């Protein structure tokens, strides 16, 4: 018996968005087939909701409700407004790749300063290369699953594809900047970084908005592969518009004797979810995954990390801090999975939330799934308010209440921020936190 599923009005609207965008999406043949399959997977599942365990605190059917149409390609006005937005970013000496509304903008990027051993291509040109039929694999998501990464695969318009050769040690960071200029529109980007054996690099990501961009959506994916003995410092700073929605999926595969340090700070956006999938693919590797949520108003920010210890003799550390004011809502979910063969695993996770108002909310959900017996694992979670005795001590020495709170907040998030090894990139993160603190009422 054949069963036909009737589409709701929302389902028909999303189908219309995909149909309208199809001519603008790069790739034909097998690439187009993969897009269609991915969109069908999204349609079957729909927006994630609270009945899905991994999304129980972030119900997109209630919080986001709909998928917006694809943003138009950037024109001269978008380029001008993006240039103004870039000027407001703290300067950092880096190779900058600028994506405007989901499209790489060469005129605002500085690819001319690329160091030897680095190659940058655009996702669009690779998907449109009809001589390379294997490029449809760029739209496959591997260990990541779910309707939002499927929607990204269906709708991705562009991104940076970066390859760092074996043994290359980059002196300057690679900086991917996402700029939104269109209101009530959605952008879809997918970027890749392949770090060769014994290579070293720093990758900085920034999400910002042109001044007049309102109520937009960002769906981004980042796929990173670390070769054996490679070392990557990854920093993501999300400061989107106050009423924007940002859903980002990051997928990391870590080779043998490699080191990955990743840091995410969310201080913007009305609704956001950063979901990271980190897999150990070789023995003797180390991963440090830290993050900070700085929230106020009615912001809702979700950080969800899945760390898969699939091989023996690896170590991981997770430190997460959230500062929540007004009626904002912070979510942290951290799941560490130790597979049966992953003996000698050393994994620890700690999350702390600081609530600055009676209506602020923080949900912390650390999890361990251990299927091996010779391991050292642990997790913890705390939630509390600012220490009144410390506030009194600082105010007794002439500081205002706001200044005293700012000092204590900076100390609270400092442990996570200090994990950033690059002095220049750490200063950018500190500057982002200071702007949030200065904007508090």
As a whole number of angstroms, the distance between CA 269 and CA 285 comes to: 34
Question: In angstroms, rounded to a whole number, what is the distance separating the alpha carbons of residues 226 and 280?
Answer: 10
The span from the CA of 48 to the CA of 63, in Å, is 10
Whether 350 and 317 have beta carbons less than 8 Å apart is answered as no
Q: Residue 119: give the domain boundaries.
A: 9-385
**Nearest one of 169, 176, 179 to 192, comparing CA atoms:** 176
Please determine, for residue 2, whether its predicted confidence score (pLDDT) is greater than 60: no
pLDDT tier at 90 (50, 70, 90 boundaries)? confident
pLDDT band with cut points at 50, 70 and 90 for residue 1: very low
pLDDT the model gives residue 401: 87
Looking at residue 9, what is its pLDDT? 43
| Per-residue pLDDT at 439 exceeds 60 | yes
Does residue 438 sit within a domain?
no
Query: Which residues in 227-375 belong to E strands, given as ranges?
Result: 231-238, 245-254, 259-266, 271-280, 286-295, 300-309, 315-324, 329-338, 346-355, 361-370
**Which range, 6-10, 12-16, 71-75, has the best average confidence (pLDDT)?**
71-75
Query: What per-residue confidence (pLDDT) applies to 215?
Result: 95
Backbone φ/ψ region at 280: left (φ over 0), alpha (ψ -120 to 50), beta: beta
In a domain, 398, yes or no: no
Q: Are strands 329-338 and 160-164 parallel, antiparallel or unpaired?
A: unpaired
pLDDT digits (tens, 9 = 90+) for 348-372: 999 999 999 999 999 999 999 999 9
The pLDDT value recorded for residue 134 is 52
Which of 156-165, 279-288, 309-318, 413-422 bottoms out in mean pLDDT, i.e. has the lowest?
A: 413-422
Q: Judge whether 395 lies within some domain.
A: no
Percentage of the chain beyond pLDDT 90 is 79
Q: What is the per-residue pLDDT across 188-201, written as a single tens digit (0 to 9) for each?
A: 999 999 999 999 99
What's this model's pTM, rounded to 2 decimal places?
A: 0.94
Q: In this structure, is residue 131 part of a structural domain? A: yes
User: Are β-strands 103-104 and 95-100 bridged in parallel, bridged antiparallel, or unpaired?
Assistant: antiparallel
Amino acid 132: pLDDT = 62
Across 415-428, average pLDDT: 91
Does 393 fall in a domain? no
In the prediction, which pLDDT does 14 show?
80
Residue 19's contacts (CB-CB under 8 Å, 6 or more residues apart) are none
Other C-beta atoms closer than 10 Å to the C-beta of 9 total: 6
Count of domains in the chain? 1
262 contacts 252 by C-beta, under 8 angstroms: yes
| Amino acid 441: pLDDT | 64
In a domain, 402, yes or no: no
**Can you spell out the DSSP letters for 149-174?**
HHHHHHH--B-EEEEE-TT-B-SS-E
| Per-residue model confidence (pLDDT) at position 5 | 40
Give the pLDDT mean for 57-65: 94
Pairing of strands 217-226, 245-254: parallel
pLDDT over 90 at 145, yes or no: no
């Amino acid at each position: 018996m054949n069963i036909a599923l009737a589409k709701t009005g929302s389902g028909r609207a999303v189908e219309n968005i995909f149909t309208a965008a199809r001519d603008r999406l790069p790739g034909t043949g097998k690439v187009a087939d993969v897009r269609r399959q991915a969109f069908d997977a999204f349609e079957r599942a729909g927006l994630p909701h609270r009945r899905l365990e991994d999304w129980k605190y972030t119900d997109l059917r209630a919080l986001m409700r709909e998928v917006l149409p694809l943003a138009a390609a950037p024109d001269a006005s978008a380029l001008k407004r993006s240039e103004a937005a870039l000027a407001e970013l703290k300067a950092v000496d880096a190779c900058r790749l600028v994506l405007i509304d989901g499209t790489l903008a060469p005129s605002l990027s500085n690819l001319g300063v690329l160091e030897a051993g680095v190659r940058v291509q655009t996702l669009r040109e690779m998907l449109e290369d009809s001589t390379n039929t294997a490029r449809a694999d760029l739209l496959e998501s591997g260990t990541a699953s779910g309707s939002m990464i499927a929607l990204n695969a269906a709708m991705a318009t562009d991104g940076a594809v970066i390859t760092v050769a074996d043994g290359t040690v980059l002196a300057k960071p690679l900086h991917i900047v996402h700029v939104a200029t269109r209101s009530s529109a959605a952008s879809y980007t997918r970027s890749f970084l392949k770090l060769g054996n014994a290579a070293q690099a720093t990758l900085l990501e920034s999400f910002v908005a042109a001044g007049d961009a309102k109520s937009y959506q960002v769906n981004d994916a980042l796929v990173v592969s670390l070769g054996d003995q490679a070392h990557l410092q990854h920093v993501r700073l999300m400061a989107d518009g106050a009423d924007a929605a940002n859903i980002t999926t990051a997928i990391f595969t870590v080779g043998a004797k490699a080191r990955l340090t990743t840091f995410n700070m969310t201080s913007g956006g009305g609704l956001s979810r950063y979901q990271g999938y980190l897999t150990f693919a070789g023995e003797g590797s180390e991963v440090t995954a830290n993050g900070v949520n700085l929230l106020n108003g009615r912001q809702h920010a979700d950080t969800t990390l899945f760390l898969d210890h699939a091989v023996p003799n690896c170590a991981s550390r997770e430190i997460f801090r959230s500062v929540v004011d007004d009626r904002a809502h912070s979510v942290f979910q951290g799941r560490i999975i130790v597979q049966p063969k992953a003996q000698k695993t050393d994994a620890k996770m700690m999350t702390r939330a600081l609530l600055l108002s009676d209506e602020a909310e923080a949900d912390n959900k650390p999890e361990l799934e251990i299927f091996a017996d010779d391991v050292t694992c642990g997790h913890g979670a705390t939630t509390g308010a600012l220490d009144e005795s410390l506030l009194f001590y600082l105010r007794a020495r002439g500081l205002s209440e706001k200044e005293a709170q700012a000092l204590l907040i900076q100390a609270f998030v400092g442990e996570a921020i200090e994990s950033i090894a690059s002095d220049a990139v750490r200063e950018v993160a500190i500057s982002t936190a200071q702007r949030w603190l200065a904007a508090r009422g």
